[in-house]
Amino acid sequence: MPYPVLFAALLLVVSGRQAQLTTSASASTLHAGDTVNLTVEIELKPGVHVYAPGAEGYIPISWTLPDSPAYKAGAVELPEAHKLYLQAIDETVPVYEGRFRITRKVTIATPGHITIDGTFRYQACDDQMCYKPEKLPIQWTFTVERK
């Protein structure tokens, strides 16, 4: 079943070299003081992994949002990573593979049209090599009404 029109406007797809991101939000019209759930769905190319936070000596995924008086961002909620044994260097590291989702709650402070610009950073690797780290721009736009 297709998404309702309300949510179709909230979806944004951004493609990187080894990952495709789809952003969405739990609502498009909010009231000042409301909390909205922002989501980034990550789909990696087959055979590729990215490092989870806590992977020492590697660049883990990160999702940054700039500070703003218009909103207050909560912590990023991550799925549980799995351990991958890298035979070439005899090391086990926490990674994500395939498709996974990260979320965060954002509380909107001010009325008006608000755009939340963020950055998703990752370094992808396969069984042969690690690729250059990449930063992808992500964005959400909301209409915020007075309470």
Which pLDDT tens digits describe the chain residue by residue (147 residues)?
Answer: 333 333 334 668 899 999 999 999 998 889 999 999 999 999 999 999 999 998 888 899 999 999 999 999 999 999 999 999 888 778 899 999 999 999 999 999 999 999 999 999 999 999 888 999 999 999 999 989 987
CATH of the domain at 124: 2.60.40.1250
Q: In whole angstroms, give the CA distance from residue 27 to residue 39.
A: 11
Q: State pTM to two decimals.
A: 0.88
What is the predicted pLDDT for the residue at 3?
A: 33
Sheet strands side by side (includes 82-86) = 82-86, 91-97, 49-51, 124-125
Q: How many domains, in total, are found in the chain?
A: 1
What is the predicted pLDDT for the residue at 41?
A: 97
What is the predicted pLDDT for the residue at 51?
A: 96
For the four alpha carbons of 68, 69, 71 and 73, in that order, the dihedral sign comes to positive
What is the predicted pLDDT for the residue at 91?
A: 87
Instruction: Print the domain residue range for 112.
Output: 5-145
Q: In whole angstroms, give the CA distance from residue 130 to residue 48.
A: 9
